[in-house]
Structure 1
Amino acid sequence: MWSTLPTEMKLTVADSLALDDVKNLSLVDRNTYTACLPSTFKNVKLPNSRALDDFLENVPRTYCKYIHHLELFNDQHGNSANIRAVTQSIIAILAASLCLEELVLNTTGSLHYSVISCFAHLTRLERLSIHHSGPEELRPLSERFVVSVAASVPNLKRLSLDRVTRSTMHAPELRGVPPYIPLVSGDDDIPDHPVLGAELYLPSLLGISTLRELIIKDTHLGDPRWATVPVKCKLQFVDLGSCYHENEDFNSVCTQRIMATVGKTVDEFSLTTTVSDAVFAKPSVTPLQCLRKLHISPFFPVDSVVDTMSNLAGSPIESLSMQCYEDDVVDVCAALEEFLTTRSERGAGFYEKLSRIDVSVTASADSNAQLDSEEEAESRMATKRLQELCRDLSLASRFSKTMPRAAASRLAQSTGLAPSVSRWNGPSDGRLRSMTL
């Protein structure tokens, strides 16, 4: 019966199964094996450079056409030969992954610039994340590199960056002066971009016309050109983190500058720093005229919640979500209660469109930082008061608890649920058909 089904139906069945089930199904016969290929290679995660090399050595290059989501880890460092070698491996897989829709690149530093040209051919790539995990002072991720890569993607809609390092070429004023921001030197060999030319500084990201979502974390955003660069994109979601080398006031100024530049199209904003500029509170002049959803990160100073919310009153905010750590629940609930009291006192026109408030509590990754019974009781009472106040004001609300990745990983390992290397073997032609997952 199965063997008589059309290929299209087999593809649909395979696509609805979990990966382990797809692997088992693929062993039925050669036709089924072929029908399972798109589902098996749709999502590929290669956790280190060796896994990348193994994939290229054992998996036929033609199978890369099935990859829609690819996560790569570049853990190579040292001399230029090592960097070029891993770059060539990444070029090999990207060149064959013409149906790629999302790429997550985890790297310990910049790759060789020869990889940049590959991105011009990835016409289906819409979501790009580049995460830097190496020591910024020793193996920085150059802003010139990431800007050139992003600007080379023809249809890029979502860009996520973290721990990008400013280039000496574009920030000479930061060299040798407090607070001694790490800078990249030697990245002047990155070729000019066909559209951006030599202007490969971070604010040039706003010149990517297709871009709709921009996330930048743990990166120095002090370039004054954020306020002057021509904006060709229509950003709908923006999430800007703080630079840990700078103080709160500096980060706040940087955030406000970028908000003022891109705000007219932004529907959703994630806030890490305070907003002190009162111009955002005036509906007639605020640049955030479309802002409906506001997220506040757990790193936001709790004692600034009321003032910042007041300074954003010019936007038609409908939903407020706030994330905090367990030991901040009482303070966060008190701050939100104060804000809602202020809203009631100021009457019509002040957050009149607000319809819901959500609070997400993040458990500490440190197992020794758990609350005692008295603190837990106090947190429950604070949460209950806020929920009751929301009900009285006819506001929808949701309180949830999440677990940080580090704690979740430890739990998985302790319960035997930690992910492991999985290999999938195809027909008995002797070739490995497997991925590291």
Structure 2
Amino acid sequence: MSTPVAQNAFDWISLPHEMKIAVLDHLSLEDVWSCAQSSRDSYALCLPILFRTVNLPTLESLNAFLEAVPAHHCQLIRDLRISTQSQSRDHDQCDAFMRPTSPCSDASAPLAELLKRCTGLEAFDIKICGGLDARKILPVFQGTGMERLKKLRVENLEMEEVAPISERLIVSLAFSLPFLESLSLTRITRSNLHAPELQFSNIPLAQDKGGNSNLPTHPFLGDELRLPQLLRLPKLKQLQIRDTHLGDPMWEEVCSECPLEVLDLGSCAYVSPTANEAFTAKILARAPPSITSCALSASLPPVSATSPISPTTAVGSPLSPTCKSSPFSPISISPATTLSPSSPFSSIPQSGFPMQTAIPALSRLRTLHLTPLVPTSSISTTLSQPALAASPVQTLSCAFHPDDAAEGCRELEGFFKERGRLVGLTQGFGQIQGRKRALSRLSVHVQTAEDVPAAENGRARSNTLPILPSLDASSALKPTPSPIVTPACPYPSLSTLTIDIPDTPASPVGMKMSPRRLAAARRRAAERREAAIRLREVARGQGMKVVLKGVDLDSEESGDNAGAIPAAVSGKVHSESAWRGRANSA
């Protein structure tokens, strides 16, 4: 007896083409491939989904793809991910002594051939091993086939000393894409044409030879193909620059012309942390106010070096340039930290001589992320920046290396404790001294109207703004019972705190952990857990949602196995110890 057909059954063949595509979008690629093999019509229907995202992890797979796939199928590719690294040359399995010093074979020719076929490309992710030839790649980007590209990610897998990727080539490629919205750059090398001061330093430079010398003059930029010009892309919304030297002085001069929303700044391993601080502060000073998300891989200079100066405040007011260091007010550097023009170190940023960089207020900032490259001792200094503390940040995310997680959590705990004291303080003159003590612990110093000397009432100090004609200085300096204009606490809109502890680096298989190293790993895990618990309690007491990743707190809360290593760490203890042992033996 045949099974009765349900009344709500339908015929797949009779469905509209759009509805079939919507159904196939919810299936995995294996199921879509099975459906494509059922009939000729199904194969033609599944082709756009099968070729929507193409991942070619090696140079051999790129050559095989060009030989096997018809050229007209490449028009269906929307997201292309390519790595030109050879399959027989895995740099991840080599240490500094075994890594080859000769560049890989040039993959510019097959890469250019594939890009010519991909006329509908919208996202392109390339990991380069062996460099690129601008004479082959740049004409493809300048053609009509790449006009729809919106996302571009370029990463150099080679050492910059062996096969650098010049900033001139990257800027030329970016300005060849009229609808580029997202740009991610990793390990891009400065050109010797734009960095002559780095010619005899330990910082790698892309020499003016080969493909770099054949770049045509840009009609809009001319020969100034430098990284700061990226802020002039008309439709750029996301910019990420990692492992790249950001010391170009043009960052201080360029005017941002892009509707930037996401900014991710890395650090350079060839310069000091103090120099990375100065570079990051300069870029933030030129960033547009439309930024909603910011990620930092370097700390920021002291507060006395980066506060914005407001042109509409009077001298002596709580928000005037004569204030010492309010978290939301301009700051004047004291003469003790000012370098004379004749000083031989006047052009070198140092911790004792902060640079005077005005970072404007980021009125739309909602998400702030600190990577593990930010020193834990500089977390409070970075978070105390007026441009960040006064912004409406809702989510604060901090990632720590496992060895620095306990110290980082303690630094955040101290910062939020002082923030909690500011929340409890009233905004009256009776609590001015308490407010100043709490702010001073956050590396912030406030000078109220009562502290201004009488000699400064009628004139402005040096390197500060004069009194505006429309404002009366005497009335501004006169104490009134009105509350202080300074906000109650830093980050008034903060609601979510995320702590992320990334996994430890991988290690060779088979190495065992000694009892001494096992005890040290247990001790570090216990310190991380205790510091995370204290930080969570402080943050929850201020009404924030706390998300901890990489630390298991269930064993501590239940009281069982108090001395055991957390589950998130126990599986990686051997790899962490083996990795350290290998580094020490090397």
Which TM bucket (shorter chain)?
A: 0.7 to 0.9
Q: Determine which of 206, 213, 227 is the counterpart of 1:183.
A: 206
Length-normalised TM-score, structure 1 = 0.86
Of 11, 24, 27 in structure 1, the residue corresponding to residue 37 of structure 2 is 27
Q: Pick from 362, 374, 399: which aligns with 1:289?
A: 362
RMSD of Structure 2 on Structure 1 (CA): 2.6
User: Superposed, which structure 2 residues align to 1:117-132 within 5 Å?
Assistant: 117-120=139-142, 121=144, 122-132=146-156
Is the contact between residue 80 and residue 124 of structure 2 (CA under 8 Å) also seen in structure 1? Answer: yes
Give the direction of change, closer, same or farther, for the CA distance of 1:54–1:179 in structure 2 (3 Å limit): closer
- Alignment partner of 2:548 out of 375, 380, 399: 399
Q: TM-score under structure 2 normalisation?
A: 0.65
Residue 123 (structure 2) aligned to one of 94, 102, 108: 102
Q: Secondary structure at the match of 1:358?
A: strand
- Does structure 2 conserve the Cα–Cα contact (< 8 Å) formed by 1:218 and 1:242? yes
Task: Report the counterpart of residue 87 of structure 1 in structure 2.
Answer: 108
Unaligned runs of 5+ in 2: 1-10, 90-100, 309-326, 331-357, 424-487, 508-512, 552-567, 576-586
1:149-196, Cα deviation, whole Å (9 max, x unpaired): 1111111111000111111111112111x3444333312211122322
Letter in 2 for 1:323: A
- Structure 1 314/389 Cα, relative in aligned 2: closer, same or farther at 3 Å? same
Distance 1:46 1:283, change over 3 A: farther
Secondary structure of the residue aligned to 2:403 is helix
2:531 aligned residue: 382
Partner of 1:422: none
Query: Does the 8 Å CA contact 1:169/1:188 hold for their aligned counterparts?
Result: no
Bigger relative contact order, structure 1 or 2, given CA contacts below 8 A and separation 6+?
Answer: 1
Q: Tell me which protein shows more strand as a share of its residues.
A: 1
Counterpart check, 1:152 vs 2:176: yes
Is the Cα contact below 8 Å between 2:281 and 2:306 reproduced in 1?
Answer: no
- 1:375 corresponds to which letter in structure 2? R
- What secondary structure sits across from 2:396 in the alignment? strand
8 Å contact 1:132–1:162 — kept in the other structure?
Answer: yes
8 Å CA contact retained: 2:161, 2:204: no
**Residue of structure 2 in register with 1:359 after alignment:** 499
The CA deviation string for residues 388-411 of structure 1, in whole angstroms up to 9 with x for no partner, is 11121111111113999xx9xx9x
Q: Is the 8 A contact 2:259 2:288 kept in 1?
A: no
State how 1:324-363 maps to structure 2 within 5 Å.
324-347=400-423, 348-363=488-503
Q: Does 350-359 or 18-27 show the bigger shift?
A: 350-359
Secondary structure of 2:491 counterpart: coil
Identity %: 33
* Structure 2 CA distance for aligned equivalents of residues 319 and 117 of structure 1: 42
CA shift, 1:220, in A, is 0.7
1:115 to 112, 129, 137: 137
Query: Contact between 2:241 and 2:266, CA under 8 Å: does it hold in 1?
Result: yes
Say if 1:125 and 1:153, in contact at 8 Å, map to a contact too.
yes
**Cα contact 2:84–2:127 (8 A) shared by 1:** yes
**Greater mean deviation of Cα atoms: 280-289 or 329-338:** 280-289
Q: Is the 8 A contact 1:10 1:32 kept in 2?
A: no
Q: Deviations over 1:352-388 (max 9, x none)?
A: 2222211011121145788633332232222111111
| TM-aligned CA deviation for residue 74 of structure 1 | 2.0
Higher helix proportion, which one? 1
C-alpha contact (below 8 Å) 1:211/1:235 kept by paired residues: yes
**Other-structure match for 1:52:** 62
* Partner residue in 2 for 1:264: 289
Match of 1:198 among 204, 209, 223: 223
* Letter paired with 1:339: F
218-227 or 265-274, larger mean C-alpha shift? 265-274
Question: Match of 1:387, as an amino acid?
Answer: R
